[in-house]
Amino acid sequence: MPHLAREQANLPAILGLYAVDSSGHLYDPDSVEFRVVDISTGLQVFPASGLEDVTAEGVGTGRFYAYDTLRSVGFTPEVTYTVGAHRIDWTYTGSDGTTVRTWSQEFDVSESGTGLPYWTYISPNRVRAEGIDSTELPDARLLVLIARVQQHIERVARQPFRPIPLTLAIDGSGSTLMPLAVPIIGIESLKVNHATQTMDTTAYRVYFTSTTDVDPGWGVKDYRRNPKIVMANEFTPSPFSTGGIFGAARFAPGAQPHEVIGTFGFLERDGTTPALITQAALLLILANTPLLEAGAGGSAAPGGPVISDRTDRHEVKFAAPAGSAVLSSAMNTSGEIEDIIRHYKAPIGMASPATRWDTART
């Protein structure tokens, strides 16, 4: 889960709110407030009472973060805060301007000096809870491992499991459908066919999965493995209309004629990193905690059954490990880790030349 260290100021990439309407578009609420609760005691620790109003502290359409307006700095856990689980409760208005919406997110407060400037899949507290103390794994190396493991998971899975604001330049296919390379949390704007003006939000449909629900489980409309934007077909394209066959009704073919601005990431319906990804991160850290001795190699998977035995030359040949593929990375030290990451890999279709990550501008 995300974590902040004592005396570490929050950043937009750690504890934030993404206000998304029912059609998948980011919007600016009329009011955005939050409070922080210590889960171990059930007591509110920030602000002292009431709610902190951060309506004016947006960092982009529909994007807000936990901010201390009195001190003009990101929310900062004090040295007196309990090390352990906390919760941030958001209260904000819906896109209709009247409905009151709420969303809560758990995060860890860790010891001073153990913070990272982005949302992490596992906190130092979780690793320490497994019995790995600072003698066996110093704080500095623990942070290096958390960062390295997270980078490894995202690279192998080809997608992030945290919210990331991006501006994407997308190649066109000449159709009414634009597949994207990463699950959609919310879209801020869309420009097509080299246009300078953004499209009206009613002219296209966003296939996204809500990340502000209470239930983290399965949902009927889960588009995380097939994120896309589709042109609305309220009218029939005609050679005599401004929305001709290669006009606004379709995504024109070519090299990056379309621009999508939004927030993306593979999150559960309650806005959390998938529990299995957190488990994979923990297993990777535990497996890579021991330092290798000079000249030593990584651990190998146990061999399968003996398939050849030459007695006089003392040669034994084993089959590949039963029920397991060859490990694809030196960091992946078990089949369990391989299976988890394989389960959460982006579909190969998303990595096609038309939807590669290298089309991202920022």
> What are the angstrom distances between the C-alpha of 87 and each of 1, 13, 36, 189, 352?
11, 17, 6, 31, 39
1 and 91 share one domain: yes
Condensed to tens digits (0 to 9), the pLDDT of residues 37-91 reads 999 999 999 999 999 999 999 999 999 999 999 999 999 999 999 999 999 999 9
Q: Which residues contact 205 (CB under 8 A, 6 or more apart)?
A: 23, 24, 229, 230, 231, 232
Coil vs helix vs strand at 281: helix
Are 116 and 200 in a shared domain? Answer: no
Are both 17 and 107 inside the same structural domain? yes
**Residue 197 domain-assigned (yes or no):** yes
Q: Is the dihedral of CA 171, 173, 177, 179 positive or negative?
A: negative
Q: Which residue has the higher pLDDT, 251 or 184?
A: 184
Domain count, the chain: 2
The yes-or-no verdict on residue 311 having pLDDT over 90 is: no
Give the pLDDT band of residue 330 (cuts 50, 70, 90). Answer: low
> Domain residues for 41?
1-120
Which range, 146-150, 219-223, 340-344, is most confident?
146-150
Per-residue confidence (pLDDT) for residue 306, from 0 to 100? 56
Query: Last residue of some domain: 101, 120, 139?
Result: 120
Tokens of 280: 């994979």
Name the DSSP letter for residue 25. B
The Cα–Cα gap between 38 and 204 comes to: 42
103 and 181 share one domain? no
Same domain, 177 and 263: yes
Of residues 253 and 128, more confidence is placed in: 128
Whether 145 is in a domain gets the answer no
3-class SS of residue 108: strand
Would you say residue 299 lies in a domain?
Answer: no
Q: What is the pLDDT of residues 89-138, one digit of tens each?
A: 999 999 999 999 999 999 999 999 999 999 999 999 999 999 999 999 99
Same structural domain, 46 and 106:
yes
Which pTM was predicted?
0.83
| CB burial string 306-316: b at 16+ within 10 A, e below | eeeeeeeeeee
Residues 54 and 112 in one domain: yes
* Same structural domain, 227 and 354: yes
CATH code for position 29: 2.60.40.1930
On whether both 107 and 168 belong to a single domain, the answer is no
305: how many CB neighbours lie within 10 A of its CB? 9
Last residue of a domain, one of 89, 120, 151: 120
pLDDT, average across residues 276-297: 80
pLDDT score, position 361: 56
- CA torsion sign for 16, 21, 24, 28 is negative
Considering the domain boundaries, does residue 157 fall inside one? no
User: Is 147 a domain residue?
Assistant: no
Say what the pLDDT of residue 327 is: 47
What pLDDT does 328 receive? 47
Phi-psi region of 157 (alpha: psi -120 to 50; beta: other; left: phi over 0): alpha
In sequence order, the 6+-apart residues with CB closer than 8 A to the CB of 344 are 157, 159, 161, 266, 274, 276, 277
In a domain, 99, yes or no: yes
User: Interior CA angle at 180 toward 170 and 343, to 5°?
Assistant: 145
pLDDT on residue 139: 96
Query: Is residue 132 one of the residues assigned to a domain?
Result: no
Q: Please determine, for residue 348, whether its predicted confidence score (pLDDT) is greater than 80.
A: no
Q: What is the rounded CA–CA span in Å between residue 54 and residue 51? A: 9
Same-domain status, 107 and 183: no
One domain, residues 249 and 353 = yes
Q: Has residue 92 been placed in a domain?
A: yes
CA distances from 100 to 54, 64, 93, 272 (A): 15, 16, 5, 22
Q: Could you tell me if 107 and 249 lie in one domain? A: no
Overall average pLDDT of the 13-20 stretch:
97
